[in-house]
Structure 1
Amino acid sequence: MDTAAISFRPPAPKPRQKPPSTLQMMRIVYRNPLELWGEPSYNEPWISITGGIGGPLLIANDPGLIRHVLVDNARNYKMARVRQKILRPILRDGLLTAEGEVWKRSRKAMAPVFTPRHIAGFAAPMLREAESFAARYEASLGGTVDVSRDMTMLTFDILAETLFSGEIAGEPDSFASQVDRLFETMGRVDPLDLLGAPDWLPRVTRLLGRNSLAFFRDIVSRTIEMREEKMARGDGVPEDFLTLLLRAEGPDGLARAEIEDNIITFIGAGHETTARALGWTIYCLAMLPAERERIEAEIDAVLAAEPDPVKWLDGMPLTRAAFEEAMRLYPPAPSINREAIEDDRFADLDIPKGTQVLVMPWTVHRHRKLWDDPEAYRPSRFHPENREAIDRFQYLPFGAGPRICIGATFAMQEAVIALAVLMSRYRFDVTPETKPWPVQKLTTQPQGGLPMKVSRRSLDAKP
């Protein structure tokens, strides 16, 4: 079957035909930044704007320029002001927002957890959690479920079991609603930040999100207390992410505040990107039944022959490709923001000190000079025989350079295992209510969720 000819175009904002006014731009950025981008963003290698709100702005789409900013001259670029104003109130000195020596300390402390050997050791608990979660759908057969919310719950269960050995305080159900609330409020760009207003002016977004943030901070405090009490009693404690961070505390390691910030980073955001990408994958495959059947056949064959989930990521190239293509069209982190520390130059482009540099996976992944039929969902782009045609810096679901996502391999393994379990048992189909619209709230979320009908696959289709 020629899968290159089989595709569909999932919902996305159409490129704007003319620039918005300043007031319109502020409204769009607050409501949904994905609707801001115009035709040049999907056609030009870069767009340099010297005047406007916040000073010089560079939108980088060219893979060579992206490599220059994120890798070759990464030392000259710090985290952008607007991005930090959104994330730092939530994550403070967590891995996503820390800079300089604080970031280096945290990255070094976490590195042992995300080695290939440790990630392979997570495969079995990932499988157990996925199977346990999938069993819940037995009570919903023939009915409608919100796949977007369900994937948030599933990935939280997996994160809790693998990185925290199941010892996170609080109830998962309340956790999911608080994640939604936090991203709905503090996860938005506040208009005052765009205008460069002083920090002492209160931001409505932060005021609205205070209770949700307090909820997560309380979870972190109680989770740490539970583990420290266990360690003090001399009970055997798992050598997991939580224990590793706590043992890294000290003058030559992490401060207590840094430990807390990194825990909230992983509890609050560490699973969210994978959850969104899983939801979009299931939706896209429901809209492309022929491709879904091929993936079901691949999953059935691998599960019948290979019980070890460690080997599924390499053994299911079609499943992996479907997930990667979903991340192309709906990048979990749709923007990467940097700021030039000193004057810089790339080719014939001058980048003055203080320039805000936007690397937008949303537009790079849909750029007409980089992709064939970029708006179409076509997993065959990522089939093994086609992967070499994709430049490393035109596909950025996990970022690039020194600050590339530390959990990228973890997420890929988790996603393939979750899809294998769910799709070996069930089918998820769209309903008249399934009308997702991508909205940027830190991650690329489907507005209104993903209501879908769940049914059991026929018995003779199961391994």
Structure 2
Amino acid sequence: MDAKPAPFIPPAPRPRQKPPSTLQMMRIVYRNPLELWGEPSYNEPWISISTGIGGPLVIANDPALIRHILVDNAKNYRMARVRQKILRPILKDGLLTAEGDIWKRSRKAMAPVFTPRHIAGFAQPMLRVSEDFAARYEDGAVVDVARDMTMLTYEILAETLFSGEIAGDPDDFAHQVDHLFETMGRVDPLDLIGAPDWLPRITRLRGRKALAFFRGLVAETMRMRKEKLSHDIEGSPNDFLTLLLKAEGPDGLTAQEIEDNIITFIGAGHETTARALGWTLFCLAEATWERDRVEDEIDEVVATTPDPYEWLGKMPYTRAAFEEAMRLYPPAASISREAIQPERWRDLDIVKGAQIQIMPWTIHRHRKLWDNPEAFMPERFHPENREAIDRFQYLPFGAGPRICIGAAFAMQEAVIALGVLMSRYRFDTVPETNPWPVQKLTTQPQGGLPMRVTRRQRP
């Protein structure tokens, strides 16, 4: 009997052995925050730093502490200032950045689209778009899988939530997304030292053109749909876009809030799934024994189950590979909060104004929470092993009241996309495949993911 292969260890920064200086810290946070974290972040239940850049800091790794902050006493924790300084210029009062009553109104307005019944209805459009996308591949071509997954998830989002009626050219969109995240998606050093808002941030100045592109795209998308609805054109889509536009009014959303939420979903709603799909294909290409198992499962299910809505339940190995890729490369690598009032949790004192960092990046690789945490081991998420994972040690979609509203949508989309792509093609790394994880708004592969796409000879 063959011995089980050693698990694949995908690329990641090694924990720092000593704290960086203040100047080093600012450089690292701007360049790639994933390179900041030291040994204690991967070993301790929490770290409390009384002073430092931005004031008192608590790094929360313990699942019980995370539950306390995000669920049990969530009312005492608001969005952290530095996080808001990065995201609010882009998203304003979109669902990711809104707080208080504005957030509640937006969440309530969008909830009907993300019910299980509606998500089930998205399965066929997800399948159609994935099949059309796969048909464009040429056998043996080398492509940038990272960019391709951005395009695929954008096209799925456009078809399902906007009925294919987003203004503009998808190629322009992909380019502008990259530029927006490269500029405005980074922490600016001036934000770390608490510089006044009137001081210009170079990162945001460089991203203005891309942001103007998105705002213009959203305004034109809204205008086109409003014109359709005003003429009561037969067959006007009753989708996410229409639902939001009809929510405008004194008891609903303002026109500005609708625009902010549309840009949130167009600009960021597809990006997290795209990154996770790219990392999944990369990890499976390097762990061929895992890929063989996933391909066998996909071949069987695709051949025997015509309804793609049933794929998620029938593809546990495929789902597990995707979830393990999200563990190693969480699309949103940090969750930031700020304490409104002081409190004591067990023997940890949390002062008023403390910045709370809940880092899926370090929590998902924490040595007290996971066996062999640096390795790609999808069996962690096989059905017989799932119960061993604490709800608050695995946070790809966050947790608590602000958990990602599109989590079920993303899981269904990912399994359908993988099912279509991997049933037709095998994705292999090439000598140029040398990704390095970099945290911008999402965990991105620096240098992209060049991979060879070869048509599979299915049984």
Both structures adopt the same fold (TM-score exceeding 0.5)? yes
Q: Is contact 1:365-1:395 (8 Å) kept?
A: yes
Could you tell me how far apart the structure 1 residues matched to 2:136 and 2:291 are? 22
In 2, Cα distance between equivalents of 1:43 and 1:95: 33
Residue 2 of structure 1: how far off its partner (Å):
10
- For 1:418 and 1:346, the matched residues in 2 are separated by 43
Structure 2 distance, partners of 1:297, 1:345, is: 51
2:208 paired residue among 207, 210, 214: 210
| Inter-partner Cα distance in structure 2 for 1:14 and 1:195 | 26
Q: Which residue of 1 aligns with 2:26?
A: 26
Corresponding position of 2:244? 245
- Determine the structure 1 residue equivalent to 2:154: 156
Moved >2 Å (runs of 4+):
1-6
Say whether residues 1:130 and 2:104 are aligned partners.
no
Structure 2 unaligned spans of 5+: none
Q: Percent identity over the alignment?
A: 78
Following the alignment from structure 1 to structure 2, what is the Cα–Cα distance between the partners of residues 131 and 7? 31
Are the counterparts in 2 of residues 3 and 380 from structure 1 also a CA contact under 8 Å? no
What amino acid sits opposite 1:22 in the alignment? T
Q: What one-letter code is carried by the residue in structure 2 that aligns with 1:321?
A: A
User: 1:110-168 CA deviation, whole Å, 9 max, x = no partner?
Assistant: 00000000000000000000000000103xx2121000000000000000000000000
Q: 1:166 aligns with which of 144, 164, 167?
A: 164
Q: Aligned equivalents of 1:421 and 1:143: distance in 2?
A: 18
Deviations 1:269-325 (A, max 9, x none): 000000000000000000011110111010011111110001000100000000000
Q: Counterpart in 1 of 2:356?
A: 357
AA aligned to 2:270 is: H
Cα distance in 2 for partners of 1:344, 1:358 equals: 16
Name 2:197's counterpart in structure 1. Answer: 199
Query: For residues 359-438 of structure 1, what are the structure 2 equivalents within 5 Å?
Result: 359-438=358-437
CA-CA distance at 1:329 after TM superposition: 0.2
Distance 1:104 1:2, change over 3 A: farther
1:416-446: CA deviations, max 9, x gaps?
A: 0000000000011001100000000010000
Unaligned 5+ segments in structure 1 are none
Indicate the residue corresponding to 2:91 in structure 1.
Answer: 91
Task: Give the RMSD, CA atoms, in angstroms.
Answer: 1.1
Letter of the 1:271 partner, please give it. H
Deviation at 1:345, TM superposition (A): 1.7
> What does residue range 2-81 of structure 1 map to in structure 2 within 5 Å?
6-81=6-81
> How big is each residue's C-alpha offset from its partner over 1:199-220, in whole Å with a ceiling of 9 and x where there is no partner?
0000001000000000000000
- In 1, the alpha carbon distance for the partners of 2:8 and 2:140 equals 25
The 5-angstrom pairing of residues 224-373 of structure 1 reads 224-235=222-233, 236-373=235-372
Tell me if the contact between 1:3 and 1:378 (Cα under 8 Å) persists in the aligned partners.
no
- 1:2 and 1:248 map into 2 onto residues whose CA distance is 60
SS of equivalent residue, structure 1 residue 136: coil
| TM-score after normalising by structure 1 | 0.98
Question: Tell me, what secondary structure is at the counterpart of 1:358?
Answer: strand
Could you tell me how far 1:3 is from its partner in structure 2? Answer: 10
How has the CA–CA distance of structure 1 residues 50 and 3 changed in structure 2, closer, same or farther, with 3 Å as cutoff? Answer: farther
Contact 1:4/1:380, CA 8 A, preserved across alignment? no
Deviations 1:21-41 (A, max 9, x none): 000000000000000000000
SS of the counterpart of 1:137? coil
Is the contact between residue 4 and residue 378 of structure 1 (CA under 8 Å) also seen in structure 2?
Answer: no
Letter in 1 for 2:248: E
2:212 alignment partner AA: A
User: In the alignment, residue 42 of structure 2 is paired with which amino acid?
Assistant: Y
Q: In the TM superposition, what is the alpha-carbon distance from 1:5 to its structure 2 partner?
A: 5.7
TM-score, normalised via structure 2 length: 0.99
Deviation at 1:6, TM superposition (A): 4.6
